[in-house]
Amino acid sequence: MTAPILSVQHLERRYGARIGCTDVSFDLWPGEVLGIVGESGSGKSTLLSCLAGHQRPDAGTVTYDGRDVLAMAETERRRLARTEWAYVHQHARDGLRMGVSAGANVGERLMAVGQRHYGDIRAAAVDWLDRVEIAEDRVDDRPSAFSGGMQQRLQIARNLVTGPRLVFMDEPTGGLDVSVQARLLDLLRGLVRDMGLSVVIVTHDLAVVRLLADRLMVMKSGRVVEQGLTDQVLDDPQHAYTQLLVSSVLQV
Ligand SMILES: Nc1ncnc2c1ncn2[C@@H]1O[C@H](COP(=O)(O)OP(=O)(O)O)[C@@H](O)[C@H]1O
Ligand SMILES: [Mg+2]
């Protein structure tokens, strides 16, 4: 019998008197993509950053592969963040090192997991840039010379090069042109499938979850108002808020 790769129980994070998120519970199964949707301010980013250990929740538990994440030593959590986990930020600049080349952005993740052979690292970096459709002749360019879509693809390569198991993504297609978004989504879908990744993806865009997510969690004011299989939730929403989201009455 398989166990969840990530299990979250009654997670809460407050900012003073304000609720970031509260009473969030779910299981993520290996190879599954969970989408989290909700309007701006509904607690999506807060939740994601608590899951990844970037913020400490005020209550609840997070279990990764049977291990209590909140009880882990910081060094162990950092090791996981370098190896088995990945975090794709909405703004590529938050997930990239803008002052070093594209190749170094990918290669340094490999060095962080102990690879030392320059030729192998360079070859792996070039291979990964190719997988995210960045031509080899750009390998020595800095990300600041790249378009928004390319930067985001580079961030994805940097995250996936070490073969993580669990990937957190916060609005990975946010702020990009619609045509660029579509291409990125296509690419992401292929990578998630090929690598069998377990993913928690936050977005306010229902088209993104329709394409990528097996399961969906709908948040409003920091709480989960509905969760279920993506098609079920989108085609037959039960909660009034989800109905509004789906009918596009809400501009999120
Ligand atoms: N650093 C912070 N300090 C105070 N309040 C915050 C902070 N970050 C988020 N919040 C508040 O927490 C709630 C959830 O925010 P957030 O998780 O960013 O939502 P989303 O990602 O869905 O837009 C909002 O009311 C927001 O104003
Ligand atoms: Mg957010």
148 lines ligand 1 (CB under 6 A): no
Query: Residues with Cβ within 5 Å of ion ligand 2?
Result: 45
Give the residue among 149, 229, 157 at the shortest CA–CA distance from 181: 149
pLDDT digits (tens, 9 = 90+) for 115-163: 999 999 999 999 999 999 999 999 999 999 999 999 999 999 999 999 9
**Range 64-71 contact pairs with CB under 8 angstroms and sequence separation of 24 or more:** 64/5, 64/6, 64/166, 65/3, 65/5, 66/3
pLDDT digits (tens, 9 = 90+) for 175-232: 888 889 999 999 999 999 999 999 999 998 899 999 999 999 999 999 999 999 999 9
**Residue at a domain's end among 112, 139, 163:** 163
Q: Cα dist. 75→69, 78, 122, 137, 163 in Å? A: 12, 5, 27, 37, 20
146 and 131 belong to one structural domain: yes
Atom 12, ligand 1: residue with shortest CA distance = 20
Going by pLDDT thresholds of 50, 70 and 90, the confidence category of residue 1 is low
79 and 99 belong to one structural domain: no
Span from the CA of 167 to the centroid of ligand 2 (angstroms) = 16
Beta strand 215-220 with 223-229: parallel, antiparallel or unpaired? antiparallel
**Residue at a domain's end among 104, 128, 163:** 163
The CATH number given to whatever domain includes residue 180 is 3.40.50.300
129 and 192 belong to one structural domain: no
Instruction: Please give the tally of structural domains in the chain.
Output: 2
Residue 10 is predicted with a pLDDT of 98
118 lines ligand 1 (CB under 6 A): no
65 and 182 belong to one structural domain: yes
Q: What is the pTM of this model?
A: 0.95
Give the residue among 58, 39, 51, 6 at the shortest CA–CA distance from 165: 6
237 lines ligand 1 (CB under 6 A): no
28 and 132 belong to one structural domain: no
Question: What is the edge-to-edge ordering of all strands in the sheet holding 6-15?
Answer: 18-28, 6-15, 59-64, 67-68
Tell me what the mean pLDDT of segment 53-61 comes to.
96
**Closest ligand 1 atom to Cα of 46:** 17
**Closest ligand 1 atom to Cα of 38:** 22
Domain that holds residue 116: 92-163
